[in-house]
Structure 1
Amino acid sequence: MSTPFIRNHQFNVIKKQAEFLQNTLRTVADRRVLETVRYRAAENIVEAFLYLSEEQKKMLEQISTFETAFEFQRYLNELEPYLEPYPPITPKQIQKLFPKNKKLKVPDLNSIDFRYVTYLSWVDIATNRLFIVYPFEDRFIGVEGRITPTNKKGYCLFCNREHELAHFSVRTPHTSPDNISAVGQYVCMDNQGCNRSITDPGSLEKFILSVSK
């Protein structure tokens, strides 16, 4: 049985490098350039992991040997059993993260493929509220705020890719309940697309921690 070791954002790195390498193979004829790009693609993938066994490293570095679109797709398909899904969570656990929201509408968790989730989020259209649940160390952090569509494309704070954006504003109590400020950022309207694009959870995690203290 395959032991999962690839998180969603790392798989996105692999897909990005596979796409870049395929495009280079189609457009560049210089063999020296191609060999350099092959080497860098494998190196960029390995660098996305803090730890890899020798077997895992060899498995990922196979990308540098492929020539055809079929080989790249087969490579990605064969890595899917090694995807480490988002930690298990129940509707009750989610509700406990938002104790002030008595009428919280939790998404249908059974409809979500958690292999491709770095952060869980959904929008309550009736209240224009965005809810985010992020696994941090051995716990979950819940963040909610007002979401306002901008009807413009730009770079999302979380995935750093150009998508349709919304302004996400979170009220954050600091020293006392009477001293409240708001932190706003531009994020993807489409959380599924964002999860499929994010290659480094650093900015997302920094934001989550900054508004949850």
Structure 2
Amino acid sequence: MEPFIRAEQFHYIENQTATLVNSRSSTNDKAVRSAMIAITQEKVIDAFHTLTEDQKQMISQIDQIKDEGDALFFLSRLKQYIIPFTKLTEQQIKNMFPKVKKLQVPDLQAIPWHTLTYLGWTDHGSKRKYIITYLDQEWTALQGEFTPSHHPGICSICHETEEVGLFTVSKHDKSTGETISRGNYICQDSERCNYNLKDKTSFLQFIDRLQM
């Protein structure tokens, strides 16, 4: 079977699996348990637009989970079918930001590629943040100023409460001579943000707002 699970879909299944385990341990009512299992199974299947019969059968086995041991076994099987984020080289990354001199590229050996919906990192020296993702059969790259906030906030990408910062993208409009800026608060820790991301919709909306 070929990989068919995107990173954010796997994180969603992880979340639903943990919720199911906690719910099962909190009630002895068989009817309530059966309802929770059925609802959870429906949710994880609905996270996919299309599934083959084999894929659906594998995802549906979430209904067999009774404890943390079962959950770990189920998730370890699914991990084999995650569609990995394409590993990028330092030169490929630099080519995506041709106007940036002395671009500080993250440690590519330390990146958990299989967990990513996007690659993001902060260059603290220049106070800039960089984001790369693969959309519509092509690479999309964003760069902007990044100002950390002193207070936790809701990230525009993952919609979780985390340590955030203001990511601002600016572009010079040649026709008016003015600089147009757009900004959103996003997670300071991009790896954490990827883990929090359980639906790609908010991320796509974020990219669409800031592309200029």
Q: TM-score, normalised by structure 1?
A: 0.93
Structure 2 residue aligned with 1:194: 193
Are the equivalent residues in 2 in contact too, given 1:17–1:41 (CA < 8 A)? yes
CA–CA distance in 2 between the matches of 1:87 and 1:177?
39
Structure 1 residue aligned with 2:76: 77
Deviations 1:179-205 (A, max 9, x none): 322111111111111111101122222
Letter of the aligned partner of 1:112 in structure 2? I
Letter of the aligned partner of 1:140 in structure 2? W
Are the equivalent residues in 2 in contact too, given 1:158–1:204 (CA < 8 A)? yes
Structure 2 residue 18 is matched with structure 1 residue 16 = no
**CA apart distance, 1:108:** 2.2
**CA apart distance, 1:163:** 1.1
Letter of the aligned partner of 1:50 in structure 2? H
CA–CA distance in 1 between the matches of 2:62 and 2:27?
17
Are the equivalent residues in 1 in contact too, given 2:183–2:210 (CA < 8 A)? no
CA–CA distance in 1 between the matches of 2:171 and 2:33?
49
CA–CA distance in 1 between the matches of 2:31 and 2:172?
56
CA–CA distance in 2 between the matches of 1:10 and 1:195?
11
**CA apart distance, 1:177:** 7.1
Are the equivalent residues in 1 in contact too, given 2:131–2:143 (CA < 8 A)? yes
CA–CA distance in 2 between the matches of 1:174 and 1:75?
52
Structure 2 residue aligned with 1:121: 120
Are the equivalent residues in 2 in contact too, given 1:172–1:183 (CA < 8 A)? no
**CA apart distance, 1:69:** 1.0
Structure 1 residue aligned with 2:64: 65
Structure 2 gaps of 5+ residues are: none
Structure 1 residue aligned with 2:97: 98
Deviations 1:8-41 (A, max 9, x none): 0000110010011011011122222211111111
Structure 2 residue aligned with 1:41: 40
Given the superposition, is the C-alpha separation of residues 32 and 176 from structure 1 closer, same or farther in structure 2, using an over 3 Å criterion?
farther
Structure 1 gaps of 5+ residues are: none
CA–CA distance in 2 between the matches of 1:172 and 1:201?
26
Aligned residues: 212
Structure 2 residue aligned with 1:131: 130
Instruction: State the secondary structure of the residue aligned to 1:130.
Output: strand
Moved over 6 A (4+): none
Q: How does 1:170-185 map to 2 (within 5 A)?
A: 170-173=169-172, 176=175, 178-185=177-184
CA–CA distance in 1 between the matches of 2:113 and 2:175?
37
Instruction: State the secondary structure of the residue aligned to 1:56.
Output: helix
Instruction: State the secondary structure of the residue aligned to 1:157.
Output: coil
CA–CA distance in 2 between the matches of 1:56 and 1:174?
48
Instruction: State the secondary structure of the residue aligned to 1:149.
Output: strand
Structure 1 residue aligned with 2:88: 89
Letter of the aligned partner of 1:139 in structure 2? E
Instruction: State the secondary structure of the residue aligned to 1:52.
Output: coil
Structure 1 residue aligned with 2:110: 111
Are the equivalent residues in 2 in contact too, given 1:172–1:211 (CA < 8 A)? no
Q: TM-score, normalised by structure 2?
A: 0.94
Letter of the aligned partner of 2:77 in structure 1? E
